[in-house]
Amino acid sequence: MPTPCGGWTSGPPICRSQFAPAGLPNPAGSQRTWQSAASFCDLLSIILSSPLHSPLLAWRRSVMTVLKRLFRYLAPYWKQLIVTATLLILLTVFELLPPLFQKQIIDEVIGTGDLSRLGVLIAGLVGVYALIQAANSGDLYIRHALGERFMFDLRVRLYAYLQRLSLSFFERTSTGELMSRVTNDINALEHFVTHGASFMAIDLMRLIGTAIILFFLEWRLALLVLIPVPILAVGMRWFNTRIRPVYRQVRDRLGDINARLQDNLAGIRVIQAFGREDATLERFAAESQRYYEARVQGIRYWSSFFPAMYFIASLGSVLVLGVGAVMVVRGQLSLGSMVAFLSYVVSFYDPIRRLTEIDNVFQEAIAAGERIFELLDEVPEIEDAPDAVALPRLRGEVHFHNVHFRYDATSVGQACPEPSRRAAPKVLHDVEFHIAPGEVVALVGPSGAGKTSIANLLCRFYDPIHGQITVDGYDLRRVQIKSLRRQIAVVLQDTFLFNTTVRENLLYGKPDASEEEMIAAARAAHAHDFITALPQGYDTEIGERGVKLSGGQKQRLALARAILADPRILILDEATSSVDAEAEYLIQQALEEVLKGRTALVIAHRLSTIRNADKIIALEGGRIREIGDHRQLLSRGGLYSQLYRRQLELAMSGAQET
């Protein structure tokens, strides 16, 4: 699929300048060097199999697609790959030499009784084994270092791309599933690059080299060695077409387990509070059972396939041994040649056996590669237009022009930018309002009225299906997203804090803020006092999602973070909902100072907190019912008046009971 930097399917990989962290190698820079990789893959596909039926053809295309894209990501490491390939070639040549030394010792030393050459042959054999170990040592180091670097590069690149994806993608995709792809699937690819690919290369070279030597030693016996090969090739094709879907299912089931585990651990308080440990254990066990069944299905295939392949290869060895023995007895073949030939027969069949085992790693890597590239093929629904401009410092004017919006029917939270998609109920209908620079505007209404959707549209987490949203006259679709969001700060009702210190959470709003600026923001949010009372003050670790803080403390910390960012537009999604009355009063007083000169959009459920707003927009069913200030709306006796009086009655009833 196309991206701003080129096609993921047929073009160069993601551009480092836009999406990858600085310092990482850029595959696009080595594209010309590796153009031959695609031709190699095409040739390999012809050699390995032919399109006898559609499942096999689909398998070939999928494998070649993954391999071609994998070559592109390996392109920056071409120097290391050349060194590794050279060492593998040398290693293959060296490993083919010992049987020739054995032949010489048997025929020219043992057979003749002449010991004069024994020392030279033994020294040569020792030297060959030393060269084998030297080449093997260098190959191991370079290959594993390359694998680790490749895994680092791909994982960081994948994470960088994930951050470009739209909010709707994360709302329809579980966190555990994404974690499985970023960790487990990349590990599977790394294992293939480090072990599978190199073993395949060395075994293929050993296979070819051994075949040449076998024909050189005795071509008639060499023909016997080849008899089992067609049977092994047909068996490999049968195995590949059946095992690949199984391994894809295994990767998917592992993602399901990670998703379930992440969900359960995040909600452990709720699970324990409701005593649902047994029920969640049953669901987790069910996910694990499906993973187990997929694994067992794969084990069932290769546990029957590999022994059968070994048996067929063994028949070839037995055939050679029988015919060779007859030839030695008749004087048609020397004993040394027979011993060397049998050693090479083992060397010929061993790579075939290992290739069937390596195919296990290969199929897992292909399944993992498909899942990784599926993420990289995901097209962001919300991204900068080609002619997008960077916003200057905003005054804070906001205008919604006849805005209509719906979420995709396939999942809650996924935007539907095109009317042609499967119809889903609109959450906003013909929304039209204007916010002047510096105004504080409150959104009120029952649940599902569309308040949060308006805030999401203003941040451009989604685009409307009809209408236009402008800030200072700029259409949001024509501005750079980062330049917009850098001038908007959001304090959510469900506060999110990172698992780090208070200081780092505050500086997330402005990384280069001074100590004085940070403390001033904390004071403005009335958070400084409780922060300094913590064990390490601003350097206190607050735990995952701020678990070590109370609800009110977390919201004040989030408010301080937003204040420190110095936004031109501030969105408060019921930012004072989890604080007591005294803290709420203090925050309201602080906000009056903080909001001076800034535009604010306040989503309110407790209507007593927005009486001083410049404008109140009452929503119901995704439509604006009325707009005005507190007094105006109360006097009209409409929706706002009903909501306000209802809350007032509930508050008075609660006070009387107390």
Q: What is the pLDDT of residue 560?
A: 85
Q: Is the pLDDT of residue 137 over 50?
A: yes
Lowest mean pLDDT among 54-63, 131-140, 175-184: 54-63
CATH 1.20.1560.10 fits 38-256+304-376, yes or no: yes
For the record, the structure tokens of 427 come out as: 């959450």
CB 647 within 8 A of CB 608: yes
CB 431 within 8 A of CB 400: yes
Q: Please give the Cα distance from 623 to 566 (Å, whole number).
A: 32
pLDDT band at 415 (very low <50, low <70, confident <90, very high): very low
Output phi, psi for 624, to 5 deg: -80, 120
CB 287 within 8 A of CB 256: yes
- The mean per-residue pLDDT over the stretch 222-232 comes to 84
Q: Exposed, middle or buried by CB within 10 Å (0-12, 13-18, 19+), for 319?
A: middle
* 276-311 per-position pLDDT tens digit: 778 888 888 888 888 888 888 888 877 777 778 778
Give pairs for 311-315: CB < 8 Å, separation 24+: 312/228, 312/231, 312/232, 312/235, 313/228, 313/232, 313/349, 313/352, 313/353, 314/349, 315/228
Q: Please give the Cα distance from 251 to 259 (Å, whole number).
A: 12
| Among candidate residues 554, 571, 150, the one with its CA nearest the CA of residue 372 | 150
- The mean per-residue pLDDT over the stretch 366-373 comes to 83
Q: Please give the Cα distance from 279 to 248 (Å, whole number).
A: 28
Q: Is the pLDDT of residue 118 over 60?
A: yes
* 445-479 per-position pLDDT tens digit: 888 888 989 999 999 999 999 999 999 999 999 99
The DSSP letter of residue 77 is G
* Unique residue bearing structure tokens 């930012």: 575
User: Considering just the CA atoms, what is the radius of gyration of the chain in Å?
Assistant: 34
What ranges do the domains of the chain cover? 38-256+304-376, 396-486+601-658
> Over the chain, what is the mean pLDDT?
78
Decide which of 3.40.50.2300, 3.40.50.300, 2.60.40.10, 3.40.50.970 is the CATH code for 396-486+601-658.
Answer: 3.40.50.300
pLDDT: which is higher, 501 or 589: 501
Q: Is the pLDDT of residue 43 over 60?
A: no
Q: Exposed, middle or buried by CB within 10 Å (0-12, 13-18, 19+), for 471?
A: buried
Q: Please give the Cα distance from 654 to 656 (Å, whole number).
A: 5
Q: What is the pLDDT of residue 72?
A: 83
- The mean per-residue pLDDT over the stretch 495-509 comes to 83
- The mean per-residue pLDDT over the stretch 618-630 comes to 92
Q: Is the pLDDT of residue 39 over 50?
A: no
Q: Give the helix ranges, DSSP H, for 96-117.
A: 98-104
Domains 38-256+304-376 and 396-486+601-658 share a fold: no
CB 598 within 8 A of CB 424: no
pLDDT band at 484 (very low <50, low <70, confident <90, very high): very high
SS3 letters for 193-257? HHHHHHHHHHHHHHHHHHHHHHHHHCHHHHHHHCCCHHHHHHHHHHHHHHHHHHHHHHHHHHHHH
pLDDT band at 599 (very low <50, low <70, confident <90, very high): very high
Q: Please give the Cα distance from 558 to 599 (Å, whole number).
A: 18
CB 66 within 8 A of CB 369: yes
Lowest mean pLDDT among 79-88, 128-137, 373-382, 591-600: 591-600
Q: What is the pLDDT of residue 45?
A: 45
